[in-house]
């Protein structure tokens, strides 16, 4: 798997991957109402601003067999400027279970460490056992913080990992 910084020309592929995750991977995590609001156009609208004006964040795509198979976004934690933050990480459901999430997470951590961060944080849906297991296996620990984004209407928990 190869990684590169995403550009606006990747928007349709990123939106399609995100949309597939929302409707396949999150089928049992998010309500049908919330998922139905995430159309392909809304998916593109969600990702477009980060590709046009990254505001200090970086969107990275993982390429497998000449296709975008994962996407993640990293930057500074908005609540603690000493922490790197993983804003999102999505793997195409068609290739899930092949280690692409782990490879993407490794690359995200590597890129944040290169930027000088000593640790990183992320938010994950509390009910997302697959993602939480991935993060815990990578050394992330729960911080005790939680939130509910009104757009998604599900509890999220914050996790943190110290780099060694």
DSSP code of 122? E
Q: Determine the pLDDT at residue 61.
A: 98
Q: Determine the pLDDT at residue 69.
A: 97
Taking only the tens place, the pLDDT of each residue in 146-156 is: 999 998 999 99
In a domain, 140, yes or no: no
Please tell me the total count of domains within the chain: 1
Q: Determine the pLDDT at residue 70.
A: 98
* Domain containing residue 24: 2-117
87, 49 in Cβ contact below 8 A?
no
CA distance 146 to 46: 22
DSSP code of 117? -
Can you tell me whether residue 11 is helix, strand or coil?
helix
- Percent of residues, the chain, with pLDDT higher than 90: 96
- Report CA torsion sign: 91, 97, 100, 102: positive
Q: Determine the pLDDT at residue 164.
A: 77
- Percent of residues, the chain, with pLDDT higher than 70: 100
pLDDT grade, residue 118 (50/70/90)? very high
The count of other CB atoms within 10 Å of the CB of residue 31 is 12
Q: Determine the pLDDT at residue 125.
A: 96
Q: Determine the pLDDT at residue 40.
A: 96
10 pLDDT more than 90:
yes
Beta bridge partners of 60: 5, 72
CA distance 11 to 24: 20
Taking only the tens place, the pLDDT of each residue in 27-77 is: 989 999 999 999 999 999 999 999 999 999 999 999 999 999 999 999 999
The mean pLDDT value for 102-128 works out to 97
CATH number at residue 6: 3.40.630.30
Per the prediction, the chain carries an average pLDDT of: 95
Q: Which one, of 121, 119, 129, lies nearest residue 163 by Cα?
A: 119
- CB-facing half-sphere around the CA of 126: CA atoms within 13 A: 13
How many residues belong to the chain?
A: 164
The mean pLDDT value for 88-117 works out to 95
In a domain, 38, yes or no: yes
In a domain, 129, yes or no: no
């Amino acid at each position: 798997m190869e990684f590169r910084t995403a550009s606006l020309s990747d928007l349709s592929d990123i939106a399609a991957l995100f949309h597939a995750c929302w409707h396949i991977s999150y089928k049992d995590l998010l309500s049908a109402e919330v998922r139905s609001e995430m159309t392909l156009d809304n998916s593109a609208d969600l990702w477009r601003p980060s590709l046009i004006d990254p505001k200090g964040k970086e969107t990275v795509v993982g390429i497998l067999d000449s296709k975008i198979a994962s996407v993640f976004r990293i930057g500074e934690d908005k609540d603690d400027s000493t922490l790197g933050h993983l804003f999102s990480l999505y793997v195409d459901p068609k290739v899930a279970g092949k280690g692409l999430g782990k490879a993407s997470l490794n690359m995200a951590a590597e890129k944040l460490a290169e930027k000088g961060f000593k640790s990183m944080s992320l938010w994950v849906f509390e009910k997302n056992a697959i993602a939480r297991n991935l993060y815990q296996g990578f050394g992330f620990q729960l911080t005790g913080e939680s939130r509910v984004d009104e757009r998604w209407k599900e509890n999220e928990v914050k996790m943190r990992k110290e780099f060694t």
